Structure 1
Amino acid sequence: MRGQLRDSLVRVYEEWASRLEGAVVWTRTVDRYAGAVHPVLPDGCMDLLWFEGRLLVAGPDTHAHTPGSGLGTRWAGVRFAPGTAPAILGVPAYELRDRRVELADVWGGAEARRLTARIDAAPDPVAELEAVALGRADAALPPDPLLGEVVRRLEAGGTVAGAAYAVGLGARQLHRRSLDAFGYGPKTLARVLRLQRALTFVREGAPYAEAALGAGCADQAHLAREMRDLAGITLGAYSALANSETPQPSGSRTTA
């Protein structure tokens, strides 16, 4: 059964594991008259997006992104695991940091138009979008395995210094390679992943102080500051948003 699904007159969100290793395919339908627009929170990922005849790329975020109005009601995306999208997209992540760009700006106008027409005409546009990502991945070089290990260690709550030591990279080497892979340095990635761990605990009903400590924050005040700096909202506001629809563990879940 595909991912999580909640039927509503306002929003329907669904996701499932992609055939592309580490990636997730998601769809989202939004009532254009629903009013409130949910912010997209940083999650370390990048997305290939399709909606109503357009293809976009969502770069890695360092702060909350608020989608614009009038962007359509049906969205689909392939969300790539941290560090894996640049090899597939053919562009370093730092060039797309905090940006949403037309695919034409990345792959050229002719290719973007061809792929858009192909997906629009497909019986299942979402499956066709995934097929595009799979095809590009097959033709691309594999992601940097050292940075994959860095992600795994940081996701588990390890330190940047510990991750660098484990993969045999100096601080400057790791920072330079992180800019290409993640769009920002490893310290920022560690903060983003720690915030996502904390929000997972919050969605599961943990008290804020417990969520903060479980994620690796010093205390609840530390988590509150990270929420303000990275998400732009309070913990209470996030909890209200999360309870208003399908739980929101990653940025893509609130795209559109």
Structure 2
Amino acid sequence: MTAAPPRLTAVTDGWTLTHRTLMHWARRPAQVVLGLLFPVMTVLMFGYLFGGAMLVPGGGDYREFLLPGMYAMTMVFGLETTFTGIATDAAKGITDRFRSLPMASSAVVTGRCAADMLHAALGLAVMIACGLAVGWHWHHGAGRALAAVALLLLLRFALLWAGIYLGLTATGPESVVAVQVLVWPLGFLSDIFAAPATMPGWLGAIAGWNPLSATVSAARELFGNPGWAEDTWPARHALPLAVAWPLLITAVFLPLSVRRYRRLGR
């Protein structure tokens, strides 16, 4: 019998592990549903509890201003899901068991990547449905709206590799607290809720150059939603930065993840 080509084997093994993750989620639907509802609750809280006190640049609708930022926050918070899944498998010895099987060495990483991207796409679809329900709309056509969605998923893809690497280096899933310490400042130290110009100079510079700020600003522009309209270099070049930052993050963490996986147990 002729052996399957290495590339076909890698794809098949990767899909097998993707299917494994999806089946785990199917057996625990409550956990998945709660994860999807958390950002929806955040939208309702900020949009209705605090929205009346918020001033939108140019006098636009606050929820139209808020939603692109919340879409991006959902992509960022997905890093915790990736980290927990990878760290749990590593702590239980499941990753080592996979390494001992006659399967493609890339399957564990690519399988998790594919499953988490499917989860991210579902979460983004739920958020967009929530946005439409509360009065958010895109105004520059379906093509530009799809481009904004692609930028959001590109950010998730980049942060996914950061989550894989951190999960492989963690001592266990309980280390997710350390990841939260990184994720929450990344989310709030951006232009989602406040203009960088209103912050102290050094803090505003960090917020302006935050990869999340680039994606949010570019998404607002593509959706046709109001933004801060700041005259800074990162603000004027948000669209190319929204592509460059995720590519840079991926270029750093993808090889680190592969190297770390190969060195497990040594």
TM-score, normalised via structure 2 length: 0.25
**Structure with the larger helix share:** 2
- Structure number with greater CO (CA < 8 Å, separation at least 6) is 2
TM-score, normalised via structure 1 length: 0.26
